[in-house]
């Protein structure tokens, strides 16, 4: 009897202590008189990271502009001004895809499945589709590719890749399998982006058993875009607007 | 015997309670860092975000005024010679193509949001972000239809723009993380863009089929921001093309 009473009191005491502790924990939050879910805190952290990277990008841009202004200030002769403009033009042309480039990188050849017999019984699974090409290219861009071409068609900002029956349309031109995708950039990173475990390229090769082959080369040649673009709808926004 | 049982039960309950409390505090500490509670941390972050926002705006204004200065130099030089005038026109064109000019024009705005339904077990929380292939397909389809400029959640789509999921509930676009709702703005022939998006079996149809909330509106005054990041070629070198 006595023993039992002692235990009860002990439990009561422990409960009181825990109760006070929990109460303290909650009353602290209560002091701020608002409830903030952890998910909103972590989304704010993300926004913060975004701001940080945007700010450092902007700072780099400002540095570049200042240098450009310096260059303009130093030029007096019209010939020098022409030279400045020409240099700029070359730079933007290369960025836009209108300069032929060469450099180290990789070349990927993707073809339809080589095996005679369809594994799943569905021929669709044996073929390479526009979706596969889009995914591989997206992975290459994420790996820092500086220029990409498919069967000699340079990818520019508005290149669409769409299935057109037996062909795939790239820059409104029909190309056929096997597709050869060339990319200039850090060769090892590019290679990893299509061959590392669980990447899209790896799955195409090892799960769907398509004919995927990647080679690393020190001299990848990527021709310039030949598409002539006329803007009908867009207008550049004037500064200060 | 009975007492044994109740004691055992007590021990079990205590152990479980202990585990739960530990996990709770660990999670909170991981998210909050040094701060004491979520409300405080969020207040701190709000202050930081505000200052970052101001800094960003300041820098944007500075960049804009520098841009104006460069353009003034260009236009002054253009008056001096016809050749320079031609060059600066070309320059503008390639700046648009490479994404370094903000654009405006008629077009459509597509908004895609996750389905309202509850998240199934084993599924990640956002349908769209886990199936970002749809976005790649959508952008490709827009380009085929003749879009002249595209932005995703305020990020300009350039030939270097990647859309990847690096874990969690967000996508990285131009290295900036974005989350749902996804807003894609595009400039081009309004009717063509609008109609091609309505195609049965098309990307948006598939998304609607998966119960995503999809909204397409025509807008005569779409504004597309410019790409705000320096790109330097590290590996590629321009070569003189005979056909140039």
Q: What is the ipTM of this complex?
A: 0.79
**Residue ranges of the alpha helices (H) in A32-99?**
38-74, 78-96
Question: For chain B, how big is the Rg over CA atoms in Å?
Answer: 26
Check residues A32 and B17 and name the one with the higher pLDDT.
B17
CA distance B100 to B85: 19
Among left, alpha and beta (phi > 0; psi -120 to 50; other), residue A51 is alpha
Q: In this complex, which of B64, B148, B170 lies closest to A231 when CB atoms are compared? A: B148
Tell me the pLDDT tens digit for each residue of A145-179: 999 999 989 999 888 888 887 888 888 888 887 89
Chain B partners of A236 at a C-beta cutoff of 8 Å?
92, 95-96, 101-103
Determine contact, residues A24/B25, Cβ cutoff 8 Å. no
pLDDT at B244 (0 to 100): 45
Question: Judged by CB atoms within 8 Å, which residues 202-221 of B form the interface with A?
Answer: none
- What distance in Å separates residue B215's CA from the closest CA in chain A? 22
Note whether B239 contacts A101, CB cutoff 8 Å: yes
Chain A partners of B150 at a C-beta cutoff of 8 Å?
158
CA distance B206 to A178: 28
Average confidence score pLDDT of chain B: 85
Q: Which of B36, B203, B234, B125 is nearest to A94 (CA)?
A: B234
Superfamily for domain range B103-224: Protein of unknown function DUF881 (3.30.70.1880)
Annotated domain spans of chain B: 49-97, 103-224
Tell me the pLDDT tens digit for each residue of B206-236: 888 888 889 999 999 999 998 888 888 888 8
Chain A partners of B141 at a C-beta cutoff of 8 Å?
160, 162
% of chain B surpassing 70 pLDDT = 91
Selected for mutation to probe chain B from A73, A158, A194, A241 (highest B CB count within 10 Å) is A158
Tell me the pLDDT tens digit for each residue of B19-71: 998 887 787 777 666 666 677 778 888 888 888 888 988 898 888 888 888 88
Check residues B180 and B97 and name the one with the higher pLDDT.
B97
Tell me the pLDDT tens digit for each residue of A174-203: 888 789 999 999 999 999 999 988 888 898
Determine contact, residues B228/A94, Cβ cutoff 8 Å. no
According to DSSP, the residues that pair with A165 across neighbouring strands are none
Residue B96 contacts A where some CB pair is shorter than 8 Å: yes
Entry pTM: 0.79
- What distance in Å separates residue B46's CA from the closest CA in chain A? 8
Determine contact, residues A137/A161, Cβ cutoff 8 Å. yes
Confidence at A17, pLDDT banded by 50, 70, 90? very high
**Number of Cβ atoms within 10 Å of the Cβ of B57:** 10
Note whether B176 contacts A48, CB cutoff 8 Å: no
CA distance B174 to B221: 24
Q: In this complex, which of A45, A81, A89 lies closest to B94 when CB atoms are compared? A: A89
Check residues B133 and A165 and name the one with the higher pLDDT.
B133
């Amino acid at each position: 009897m006595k023993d039992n009473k002692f235990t009860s009191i002990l439990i009561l005491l422990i409960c009181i202590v825990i109760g006070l502790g929990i109460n303290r924990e909650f009353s602290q939050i209560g002091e701020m008189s608002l409830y903030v879910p952890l998910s909103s805190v972590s989304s704010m952290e993300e926004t913060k990271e975004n701001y940080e990277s945007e700010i450092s990008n902007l700072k780099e841009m400002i540095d570049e502009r200042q240098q450009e202004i310096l260059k303009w200030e130093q030029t007096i002769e019209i010939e020098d001004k022409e030279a400045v403009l020409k240099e700029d033009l070359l730079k933007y042309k290369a960025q836009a895809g209108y300069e032929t480039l060469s450099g180290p990188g990789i070349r990927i050849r993707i073809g339809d499945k080589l095996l005679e017999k369809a594994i799943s019984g569905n021929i669709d699974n044996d073929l390479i589709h526009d979706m596969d090409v889009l995914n591989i290219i997206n992975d290459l861009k994420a790996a820092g590719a500086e220029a990409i071409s498919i069967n000699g068609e340079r990818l520019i900002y508005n290149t669409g890749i769409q299935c057109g029956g037996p062909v795939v349309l790239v820059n409104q031109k029909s190309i056929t399998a096997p597709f050869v995708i060339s990319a200039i950039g850090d060769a090892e990173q590019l290679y990893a982006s299509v061959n590392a475990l669980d990447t899209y390229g790896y799955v195409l090769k090892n799960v769907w058993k398509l004919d995927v082959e990647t080679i690393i080369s020190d001299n990848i040649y990527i021709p310039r875009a030949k598409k002539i673009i006329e803007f009908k709808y867009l207008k550049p926004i004037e500064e200060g607007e | 015997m009975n007492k044994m049982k109740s004691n055992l039960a007590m021990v079990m309950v205590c152990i479980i309670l202990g585990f739960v409390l530990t996990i709770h505090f660990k999670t909170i500490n991981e998210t909050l860092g040094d701060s004491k509670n979520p409300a405080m941390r969020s207040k701190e972050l709000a202050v930081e975000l505000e200052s970052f926002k101001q800094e960003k705006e300041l820098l944007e204004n500075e960049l804009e005024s520098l841009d104006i200065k460069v353009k003034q130099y260009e236009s002054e030089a253009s008056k001096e010679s016809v050749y320079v005038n031609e060059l600066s026109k070309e320059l503008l064109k390639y700046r648009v193509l490479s994404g370094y000019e903000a654009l405006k024009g008629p077009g459509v705005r597509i908004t895609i949001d996750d389905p309202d339904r509850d998240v199934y077990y084993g599924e990640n929380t956002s349908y769209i972000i886990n199936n970002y292939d749809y976005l790649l397909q959508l952008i490709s389809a827009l380009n085929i239809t003749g879009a002249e400029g595209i932005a995703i959640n305020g990020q300009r789509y350039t030939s270097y723009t990647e859309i990847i999921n690096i874990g969690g509930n967000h996508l990285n676009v131009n290295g900036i993380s974005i989350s749902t709702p996804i807003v894609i703005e595009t400039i081009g022939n309004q009717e063509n863009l609008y109609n091609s998006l309505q195609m049965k079996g098309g990307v948006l149809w598939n998304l609607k089929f998966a119960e995503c909330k999809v909204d397409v509106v025509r807008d005569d005054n779409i504004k597309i921001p410019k790409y705000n990041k320096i790109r330097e070629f590290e590996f590629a070198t321009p070569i003189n093309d005979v056909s140039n």
